[in-house]
Structure formats: C-alpha cells, structure tokens
Amino acid sequence: MITIQLTNDLLDETEIQKLMTLFNCQSDEEFNLALKNVILAALTEYKEMLLGKGLPTRADEIKQHRLFHLVKHYFQGVMPTEAEVSSMFQLTETESRA
C-alpha cells in the first residue's frame, strides 16, 4: 500500500476554509475524506497520463475526463448537480451544462 502524507504548508487556513465550503464539510474528518477522494481522482488521471493511456486532447474532453474521475472517486458514483460541477470547475451553471 502506498501512503502519501501532505505537509501543513500545502494549504493555508483561508484555502482550507474555502475548500471546506466547496466540499460542504462540517468537520476536519469530513474535509480529510473529501480531500482524499479528490486526490485519488487526480492521481488516477495522472496515472493514465503517465502510463500513456489514450487521453482526450480537447479542453472540453479533458474536463469531461476529469469529471468522470471525480464522479467515480469524490461523488462516489452519484452524478453531481450542475451547481456542484460549477463549483468544482469554477464555471457558471450555463458553462457546466455544455
């Protein structure tokens, strides 16, 4: 098993509070779990890139691919709402529908 530890200087208190709001976390435990799931989605995406798996090349396809991994790992297989997608990708709800 691989264990990754993040240092406290990765995020400052303001960033932690913003992420806790984005992830809708009420406690440090909820935040740690949410962050772990987002990191797992990101690592999966990077693994595919580094191992040369066929990755999308257009920006909208890359976002869809990233959303796929977030749905799988962060949202636990449940499709997020347009508002959740908008928040995660810093998009307007109109942009998140596209």
Q: Which of 40, 41, 31 is nearest to 11 (CA)?
A: 31
Inside any domain, residue 60:
yes
Range of the structural domain that residue 63 is part of: 15-97
Inside any domain, residue 10:
no
Inside any domain, residue 5:
no
In whole angstroms, give the CA distance from residue 48 to residue 55. Answer: 8
Inside any domain, residue 2:
no
Inside any domain, residue 9:
no
Check residue 52 and give its pLDDT.
86
Inside any domain, residue 77:
yes
In whole angstroms, give the CA distance from residue 65 to residue 20. Answer: 24
In whole angstroms, give the CA distance from residue 34 to residue 22. Answer: 10
Check residue 70 and give its pLDDT.
92
User: CA dihedral defined by 93, 86, 22, 56, rounded to 10 degrees?
Assistant: 170
Check residue 98 and give its pLDDT.
65
Check residue 44 and give its pLDDT.
93
Inside any domain, residue 68:
yes
Count of domains forming the chain? 1
Model pTM score: 0.79
Check residue 46 and give its pLDDT.
92
Check residue 39 and give its pLDDT.
94
Q: Which residue stretches of the chain have pLDDT < 70?
A: 96-98
Inside any domain, residue 59:
yes
